[in-house]
Structure 1
Amino acid sequence: MLKPILLLAAGSLLPLAATAQVDTVRASTLPPAQQAERLYNSGVAKFNQKSYRAALQDFDRALAAKPDFAKAYYNRAAVRYELQEYQPAVQDYDAALKLDPASGTAYFGRGQAREALKQPAEAEQDYSKAVETNPAYAPAWYYRGALRFEKGEYKAAKADFEQATKADPTYAYAWHDRASAERQLQEYPAAIQSYTRALTLQPELLPALLNRAGTRRRAGDLKGALQDYTQYLQKKQDNPIAYTNRGAARYEAADYKGAAEDFGRAIELDGAYAFAWNNRAAAFLKLEDYKKAEADASKAIALNPQYAEAYLNRGHAREMLRNPDGACQDWRKAAELGLEIGTSYAANSGCGE
């Protein structure tokens, strides 16, 4: 997720104090309010240059000169957030809000800091105050939606993401996460449209392409899913999950050779990926290459001894390799691990008779 940190706009500098011309005496000290304004503007400039420690010093001095300077508290909080000093940032946002209770951006910033402190409930409250104060502020809707999504409150999350996209129709991440909420709600056509909108706004948002592929697969559009997986893999070849997912789609489309190749590519990228080993075993079963199927299922079991589906597949391979005792043992193990169909296979094959 994006983390927008917004500095309040710097006020224009006040006119410099008049210079005295009596004899050789010169008045050079600025009034405290004017000095604070000058230091504040200097701090903003340094923040924009990512010179955070120097900016912090300027905001410290500005607040020393003008303790009721709300914008300086807000911007010092933003600096402290960047420095990962989250609790001091919260304290500065508290001070800013005491001076300016209607600052929606201060509520939002405090919510960000509280999220960083692993305080999601408090962060959600701040985002709620931010949208109450400024309903047009899209990031507050977005981040509250993200927190609700993480809690499994998909309807509420979707509503928040919808508000974010209304407030800012160009907010690609909000469209993406709105689609993910719709997907969780099994609203697949809407999710596909939302992922497509995110990709239109930000073509290089590759998670949207990968998630749209998965949504199309769930909706039964294997052709569209395969197109999306292939387009994703043309741009990013180091993701074993993407190869595994395309392999699963190819398997469902009865392209077992292509599926085995994709699972193999996933294994090349991550040799400890038990899911890919088991899936390739299933593809080899369809290709009637039972020795390879047995070997791959055994590898999956070695990586995850509790992998019920791998025992089931190895049982099938061993049955075809004329190893009935081994097959029965595997099917019973699959049933023991919660895959009841293992019991049916064992019974139908006369295991134990």
Structure 2
Amino acid sequence: MESLLKSIPGTVVFQDEILLTGKDTDSHLRNLEEVLKRLDRIKLMVFPDQSLYCIRQRLTSSRCKEAAWRSRRVSQAQSSRVCSERTMQAQPGKQHSSSPGSKEELSKLESRYLFCGNTLKITRDFSSNLGISAIIWEAGLVLCSFFEQEKISFSGKKVIELGSGTGIVGILAILLGGEVTLTDQPIVLNQIEFNIDKNIPAAIKQHSKVSALRWGENQDQFPTDYDVILGSDIVYSPQDFPSLLRTLRHLSNANTVIYICSKMRESMGAMNFHNKLVPQHFNSEIVHRNEDKEINVYKVTKKGPSVVGQPQV
């Protein structure tokens, strides 16, 4: 579906969901109409009120129906799900819900995931201009699956997550026993706190903490004794790589285990980061790979002072 829709302005595909925007209502509607035409061309089913989410421009019901009429089966653009029967069968544990109530409800979209026996209800806030931080990235889901597959426990571990976004990875780490600090830009913290409130029982809420962390700027305000550092899809901006590495070096010690899950986008520098930059200061190995999605899970540990900077064999 990504290749089908990639040429449409303001349109992003993530798994079986489509995020759609436009600079104004008219361009938004034009983009919506083109999306619907292309989906109809390949006979994808469209379920009303669940998954194609139009960001920022709140289209009226009549305008949405006008656009949908030309491509069948959509009644509202605020939140309608687009998926094929094959996609539904491939993801039996995943459910989505959205309630057509207040403006606040219409600006949020909840997805449910099952990992390690826990049902995670993750809400994305499209009302706060969070951009990519309002997306549940595939790398985060792959990392959660890795924890489940390897039966990883964070019991008694001091954990910090970088670039938490929706908080799905950090929340699972809390439920698996960790004392977890979830971090991101200040604007994202309300979304993380909302999802913690939805998923973490009151009895263990004290095991969670949410803090603003700007890589390369305020990492010195955080301790250096973390047992585990987590990051999923945080390797996408080469200009941020030096700051990310400085942050990882500060937060880690000789006993810290770092799990970084990355979509191996060559155009965004992921290969250069993991193959050339990380080995300058850390030992790194691939412990899991999703071939279909080209996503790697790296286990990273800090090198001792005597080997930092030595040529890699």
TM-score, normalised relative to structure 1: 0.26
Which structure carries more strand by proportion? 2
Q: Comparing both chains, which one has the higher relative contact order based on Cα–Cα distances under 8 Å and sequence gaps of 6 or more?
A: 2
Q: Which has the larger radius of gyration?
A: 1
Which structure carries more helix by proportion? 1
